[in-house]
Amino acid sequence: MARGFASIALAATLAASSQSVRVERLDGSLTNPFDWPSGTKAAAFVFVSTECPISNRYAPEIRRLVDAFAPKGVVFRLVYPNPADTADAIRHHLTGFDFGGVDPLRDPTQALVRFTGATVTPEAAVVMGGRVVYRGRIDDRYAALGVDRQTAATHDLEDALSAALAGRPAAHRTTQAVGCFIADFAR
Amino acid sequence: MTAALALAAMLAGDVTYTRDIAPLLNDRCAMCHHPGGSGPFSLLTYADVRRHAAQIVAVTARRYMPPWKADPSDGPFVGQHPLSADEIARIQRWVDGGAVEGDAHDLPPPARWTEGWQLGTPDVVLTLPEPYRLAASGTDVFRIFVLPVPIAAAKFVRALEFRPGNPAVVHHANIRIDPTPASKRLDEEQAGPGYEGLIAHSAQYPDGHFLGWTPGQVAPLLPKDLAWRLEPSSFIVAELHMQPSGRPETVAPSIGLYFSDVPATRTPAMLRLGRQSIDIPAGDAAYTITDSYVLPVDVEVEAVQPHAHYRARNVRGDATFPDGTKKELIAIAEWDFRWQHVYRFVTPIRLPKGTTLSMRYTYDNSADNPRNPDRPARRTRWGQRSSDEMGDLWIQVLTRDDRDLSTLERGFRPKVAAEDVIGYEVEIEKRPADAGLHDDVALLCLELGRAADAVKHFAASLALKPRSAAAHYNLATALTVAHRLDDAIAEYRRALVLDPDYANAHNNLGSALVGQGKYDEAIREYREVVRLQPSVVGGYVNLAAACAAAGDFTRAIEAIDAALKLNPPDALAGDLRRLRGAYLQK
């Protein structure tokens, strides 16, 4: 028992530092998700999964945000936290759903999930200067599971990115996203 | 046993997948959650279920899944799959205890479902000539597809099975039968398969039967004596509610028809309670409509279907027996527009004559209703578009015999027609230049004996198309019913100026003139009728009556002889011969 507790504590410590987080590229190699080209102003991680209908429905909206913010210095990364989403499954997923050509990453150990605090797919985290400046829903289209609006009124991720680029804090640092539970993927 | 093992055994022993969870999920979830089913993922194995365990706890606790919106104490209904509070708690306990697999020997038999047509091979299958392409993004799509019925003679239909083609995006289907080409014309006006807009007024449920589809629901085969009649050259009209999935999708629905080899002998009645006067102020969180009807005969309730759009919150229908006791037919505490079930009673509910059927729906048009499509909220009125509101409770009943059926329909028809008039008037406020709406509502007013209202609407229609002989004719007909013969005669004459060969206008003008005692003028009109339609019996019969009224029995007999030469039906021929005899006496 004692050893188990120690390993959990260790993981928490590691997760506190962005430098120690590693995720997988589709070729299986490990990479630091916070390595990005110089001149990058902010990074947006979007957690998705291949079989979650809610995260799939967001593909066009994610693409819209990529098209709007990539030219302004925001790096987007699509993160698959479900270990069952294999590299082949992800490649197949990206042939059907257009996320704007964003680099896919696998996070089978959920290291990046822990670092950002994401709980569901789809959920977004905006990182600037090694800190999470926004984590939560993409917009308010889903009020709860099974309760979604025809259109969103509040575009939280878009607003957070605009704030980050303007050097302002996000209106809400965290919001509650609605979708498929990442906790299930860890079982 | 060590302490750690004992603890594990206690947690695991409480609830296991194989013993406690698999039977539930096989029975309530697997019919949709299997490969190719309408559920987004499978829930057939421990590995499947474990990877969705917390999700399952969340959606069952909210009663979002399984999608059964009715109060579990209603019914029992066909295909009812709700989870009890105990079962929901059991799933929660299982996940809290670590989602333990358990002993493989405890596993129930594998879940079973039928691939393909649920009712067996259909007699006829209807498909679209090309699939519909649903865009990756955007709001929900409501699109109406019109499928010609490929039968050469009338058939009796025991079942209509709908297959969505793409269950991931098709959320439900409203299905109607259009005996006219009206729906087909609407389809042809828009590019691609189907059209967006409203279901044509001529597309209806057939002879008191529900049609439609929601995931996991298949209408069972009807007993042969209850099958419904489908005419050749009619159209099946299917309005599909589709939700974009995030990628472009193709949707190729199909419909299977199952015929009876004998004609039906019984016809149910379709009752409809509800209000078309719905007018919900912006922000009103508890707008309520009620309606009721007292049954004039004994009935058995076969099925009910509540219908409302996004803002309805609480929906219920009751039957109050003559002794004052109440039976809840259906109650939905959290209405969800997405799940338009037809609730079929396993055992029909017997209601004696004098029972009051009632409905009560409450709407939340405030910003606090997350399903409210308008932010900020706006005033919302009745209408068939999903952006408007509706509030109907359809109740399918069987009567003891045809005499009771006709008593019921005679009693009920004026109520539903009067409500339809209100709906038309709302539509007309939105589209005042739509002459068709004025024409339709005028016909309903005539049916209800409200001739003055019919005159008003036909006059409005005429104002929109003053060069239409038919519009003058329609107005004249309503004026006749309203006993305004001078005005009617003037309108018939205007119709005839525009179209001198308008036989019906000559005929009705003749009848109006007879009504004023102007027989010679009437005879001139009827002569035109028989000139234009020499093979139609009615013209000669009217001509004969007018000649007789004018005292010219020779001409009257000539007209009767001309009518008899056309071999009219026996009963009419008999009447004509008796008349001829009477005229000869004079």
**Is the same domain home to B507 and B565?**
yes
The pLDDT assigned to B149 comes to: 94
Closest CA–CA distance from residue B289 to any residue of chain A (Å): 24
Domain boundary among B106, B136, B166: B106
For residues B252 and B129, give the distance between their C-alpha atoms in angstroms, rounded to a whole number: 9
Q: How many CB pairs below 8 Å do chains A and B form together?
A: 74
- Cβ within 8 Å of residue B24, ≥6 positions away: B83, B87, B90, B91
The pLDDT assigned to B475 comes to: 97
Closest CA–CA distance from residue A123 to any residue of chain B (Å): 16
The pLDDT assigned to B46 comes to: 95
**Is the same domain home to B581 and B520?**
yes
Set of chain A residues whose Cβ sits within 8 Å of the Cβ of B41? 51
Closest CA–CA distance from residue B244 to any residue of chain A (Å): 7
Set of chain B residues whose Cβ sits within 8 Å of the Cβ of A151? 139
B370–A contact, CB cutoff 8 A: yes
> Domain boundaries in chain A?
2-185
Three-state SS for B229? strand
User: Which residues of chain A approach chain B closer than 8 Å at the C-beta?
Assistant: 1, 51-53, 56-61, 82, 84, 96-98, 143-147, 149-151, 153, 180-181, 183-185, 187
Domain boundary among B78, B106, B134: B106
Longest dimension (CA), chain B: 120
Range of B577's domain?
Answer: 429-585
Strand residues in B416-487 grouped as ranges (E) = none
Closest CA–CA distance from residue A4 to any residue of chain B (Å): 13
- Cβ within 8 Å of residue B534, ≥6 positions away: none
B483–A contact, CB cutoff 8 A: no
With CB atoms and an 8 Å threshold, state whether A56 touches B246: yes
**Is the same domain home to B255 and B295?**
no
The pLDDT assigned to A16 comes to: 53
With CB atoms and an 8 Å threshold, state whether A149 touches B137: no
Side chain identity at residue B287, one-letter code: Y
Report the pLDDT averaged over residues B482-503. 96
pTM of the shown model: 0.87
Nearest CB partner across the interface for B41, out of A51, A149, A185: A51
* Residue B119 is assigned to a structural domain of this protein: no
**Is the same domain home to B256 and B282?**
no
Nearest CB partner across the interface for B244, out of A57, A149, A180: A57
pLDDT tens per residue across span B500-509? 999 999 999 9
The pLDDT assigned to B152 comes to: 93
Q: Assess whether pLDDT exceeds 90 at residue A52.
A: yes
Nearest CB partner across the interface for A149, out of B52, B245, B370: B370
Q: Assess whether pLDDT exceeds 50 at residue A5.
A: no
Report the pLDDT averaged over residues B176-181. 96
The pLDDT assigned to B524 comes to: 96
Q: Assess whether pLDDT exceeds 50 at residue B182.
A: yes
Residue B497: phi and psi, rounded to 5, are -65, -45
Nearest chain A residue to B59 by CA distance is A145
The pLDDT assigned to B7 comes to: 52
Confidence of residue B417 (pLDDT cuts 50, 70, 90): very high
Confidence of residue B10 (pLDDT cuts 50, 70, 90): low
Nearest chain B residue to A64 by CA distance is B137
Q: Which of B73, B63, B77 is nearest to B334 (CA)?
A: B63
Nearest chain B residue to A85 by CA distance is B51
Nearest CB partner across the interface for A180, out of B55, B247, B375: B55
Nearest CB partner across the interface for B53, out of A96, A149, A187: A187
The pLDDT assigned to B13 comes to: 54
Report the pLDDT averaged over residues B343-352. 96
Alpha carbon of residue B38 to chain centroid: 24
Set of chain A residues whose Cβ sits within 8 Å of the Cβ of B54? 181, 183-184
Side chain identity at residue B322, one-letter code: P
**Is the same domain home to B228 and B273?**
no
The pLDDT assigned to B422 comes to: 97
Q: Could you write out the DSSP letters of every residue in B432-464?
A: TT-HHHHHHHHHHHHHTT-HHHHHHHHHHHHHH
Q: Assess whether pLDDT exceeds 90 at residue B9.
A: no
Report the pLDDT averaged over residues A136-163. 94
Confidence of residue B304 (pLDDT cuts 50, 70, 90): very high
Domain boundary among B71, B106, B141: B106
Nearest CB partner across the interface for B246, out of A97, A151, A187: A97
With CB atoms and an 8 Å threshold, state whether B51 touches A144: no
Q: Are A141 and A41 in contact (CB under 8 A)?
A: no
Choose the mutation target among A48, A99, A181, A184 for the interface with B, i.e. most B CBs under 10 Å.
Answer: A184
Confidence of residue B14 (pLDDT cuts 50, 70, 90): confident
Strand residues in B295-371 grouped as ranges (E) = 299-308, 312-320, 326-332, 343-351, 356-363
B167–A contact, CB cutoff 8 A: no
Q: Mean pLDDT for chain A?
A: 89
Domain A2-185 listed as CATH 3.40.30.10: yes
Q: Assess whether pLDDT exceeds 50 at residue B390.
A: yes
Tokens standing for residue B545: 């009556």
Of all residues in chain B, the percent with pLDDT exceeding 90 is 84
Q: Assess whether pLDDT exceeds 90 at residue B460.
A: yes
Length of chain B: 586
- Lowest-pLDDT choice from B37-41, B460-464, B476-480: B37-41
Please state whether beta strands A42-47 and A74-80 pair in parallel, antiparallel, or not at all (unpaired).
parallel
The CATH number covering residue B452 comes to: 1.25.40.10
pLDDT tens per residue across span B259-269? 999 999 999 99
Residue with tokens 């044509």: B200
Confidence of residue B414 (pLDDT cuts 50, 70, 90): very high
Alpha carbon of residue B412 to chain centroid: 16
- Cβ within 8 Å of residue B315, ≥6 positions away: B306, B308, B330, B331, B332, B335, B359, B361, B362, B393
* Residue B187 is assigned to a structural domain of this protein: yes
User: For chain B, how far is it from start to end, CA to CA, in angstroms?
Assistant: 119
Q: Assess whether pLDDT exceeds 80 at residue A3.
A: no
Report the pLDDT averaged over residues B76-97. 91
**Is the same domain home to B39 and B152?**
no
**Is the same domain home to B157 and B83?**
no
Nearest CB partner across the interface for B245, out of A57, A82, A150: A57
B59–A contact, CB cutoff 8 A: yes
Q: Assess whether pLDDT exceeds 80 at residue B397.
A: yes
Q: Are B101 and B209 in contact (CB under 8 A)?
A: no
Residue with tokens 């509540």: B306
Domain count, chain B: 4
Report the pLDDT averaged over residues A46-53. 95
- Cβ within 8 Å of residue B324, ≥6 positions away: none
Three-state SS for B210? coil
Closest CA–CA distance from residue A130 to any residue of chain B (Å): 31
- Within 13 Å of residue B527, how many CA atoms lie on the same side as its CB? 10
Q: Assess whether pLDDT exceeds 80 at residue B404.
A: yes
**Is the same domain home to B353 and B449?**
no
Confidence of residue A8 (pLDDT cuts 50, 70, 90): very low
**Is the same domain home to B155 and B256?**
yes
- Lowest-pLDDT choice from B220-224, B323-327, B466-470: B220-224
Q: Assess whether pLDDT exceeds 60 at residue B8.
A: no
Of all residues in chain A, the percent with pLDDT exceeding 70 is 89
The CATH number covering residue B155 comes to: 2.60.120
The pLDDT assigned to B226 comes to: 92
Of all residues in chain A, the percent with pLDDT exceeding 90 is 77
Q: Are A33 and A105 in contact (CB under 8 A)?
A: yes
**Is the same domain home to B449 and B387?**
no
More confident residue, A160 or B219: A160
Q: Assess whether pLDDT exceeds 90 at residue B82.
A: no
Report the pLDDT averaged over residues B58-79. 90
**Is the same domain home to B232 and B302?**
no
Please state whether beta strands B228-230 and B249-251 pair in parallel, antiparallel, or not at all (unpaired).
unpaired
* Residue B115 is assigned to a structural domain of this protein: no
pLDDT tens per residue across span B307-316? 999 999 999 9
Q: Mean pLDDT for chain B?
A: 93
Residue B180: phi and psi, rounded to 5, are -110, 170
Confidence of residue A14 (pLDDT cuts 50, 70, 90): very low
- Cβ within 8 Å of residue B264, ≥6 positions away: B156, B224, B225, B226, B227, B228, B229
Alpha carbon of residue A40 to chain centroid: 17
Nearest chain B residue to A96 by CA distance is B247
pLDDT tens per residue across span A19-38? 788 999 999 999 999 999 98
Q: Count of CB atoms within 10 A of residue B452's CB?
A: 12
Side chain identity at residue B504, one-letter code: N
* Residue B26 is assigned to a structural domain of this protein: yes
**Is the same domain home to B403 and B458?**
no
The pLDDT assigned to B375 comes to: 85
Q: Which of B191, B164, B176, B329 is nearest to B251 (CA)?
A: B164
Q: Assess whether pLDDT exceeds 70 at residue B145.
A: yes
Q: Are A163 and A127 in contact (CB under 8 A)?
A: no
Nearest CB partner across the interface for B140, out of A51, A59, A150: A150
With CB atoms and an 8 Å threshold, state whether A184 touches B373: no
